Amino acid sequence: DVYKRQGGDVATAEQLYEEGAFAESEDVLREVVQDDPEDAEARKDLARVLAAQGNIEGAIEEYHYVIQANPDDTGAFKEVALLERQIGLADEAASHLEVAAAGGTDPWLWDELARTYLQLGREGDAAEAWARLLEAADLSDEERKSVLIMQAEAYLEADMADHGSAAYEAALEVDPSDQNVRERLAELSGDV
């Protein structure tokens, strides 16, 4: 058996994955997980391989096992959330992203959470998640302006016009030459 000869381990499975041999990688990882059900890295790799083959539900199941075994693995919370969002499980995705963003070191998780909140019609929560991103991340001016504009629109959708206008004003401070932001602010203030 070629996989036994190569060691049948996670490194072999990762190599097969990189080569696009997803089914073979899955076979190796299933053997590893069968031999050691507690191997979280093998389970994460298995989830990645399953997702690559379109088996999103199977991938989610593997990530749930990892999360149960290690509730501090914010990376697993993020990955499962993105898969859940992909198949329309936005409530579950939001719950998992909340954990990942609160405990993680990647400030962009707040952006993922905000986008998930938008899917759920929770515009005010989305705007607040973008506020957390603005606080946590060292953003370029272009990134900052983009986040402020998304935040402004979320506030407006949440009927929080003052907050929306303030976010647009902050975006204009970042880029005073942005005519679209200037026009949107004029619309909001009724100066059009």
Report the sign of the C-alpha dihedral through residues 101, 102, 107, 111, in that order: positive
Residues 114-122 have a mean pLDDT of 96
pLDDT at position 126 over 80: yes
pLDDT value at residue 192: 56
Nearest-angstrom CA–CA distance, 105 and 102 = 9
In angstroms, the CA 93 to CA 121 distance is: 14
Tens of pLDDT, residue by residue over 168-184, are 999 999 999 999 999 99
Q: pTM of the predicted model, to two decimals?
A: 0.83
Assess whether pLDDT exceeds 80 at residue 4.
Answer: no
pLDDT at 3: 38
Lowest mean pLDDT among 47-51, 104-108, 153-157, 176-180: 104-108
